[in-house]
Structure 1
Amino acid sequence: MSDFPANIDYVAEPTPRWEPLHKWANRPYTVLGLSFTPLDTPGQLREQGIASWYGRKFHGQKTSTGEIYDMFQMTAAHPTLPLPSYARVTNVKNGRSVIVRVNDRGPFHKGRVMDLSFLAACRLGYATNGSAEVKVESLLPSDAPSTIVAAAQQPIVATPPANNNKPLVVPMANQTGGIYVQLGAFSSQQNADNFKAHLARELAQDANKLTVHNANNKLYRVRLGPYASRDAALDAMGRVTGEKNLKAVISQ
Structure 2
Amino acid sequence: MRFPVNHALPLAALVLLGSGGAFAATRSPQPASPATGPAADYPVVVGEPFTIGSTVWTPSDQLNYDAVGNAIVGEGVGVTAAHKTLPLPCYVEVTSLETGRTILVRIERRGPMVNDALIELSPDASAQLGMAPGSKSPVRVRRVNPPEQERAMLRTGGRAPERMATPDGLLKVLRRKLADQSPLLPPPSTPPTMPKGEPPVVSSKVAAPSAITMKPVPSAKTAPAPKPSKPAVAAPAIAQPAKPPVAATPKPSAKPSVEVVKPKPDVAEKGAFVVQVAAFSSEASARKVAAQLGGSVSPAGKFWRVRLGPYANRAKAAPALEKAKAAGYRDARILGAD
Normalised by the length of structure 1, the TM-score is 0.41
Of Structure 1 and Structure 2, which has the larger fraction of its residues in strand? Answer: 1
Normalised by the length of structure 2, the TM-score is 0.31
For the pair shown, the structure with the greater C-alpha radius of gyration is 2
Report which structure shows greater RCO (CA 8 Å, sep ≥6).
1
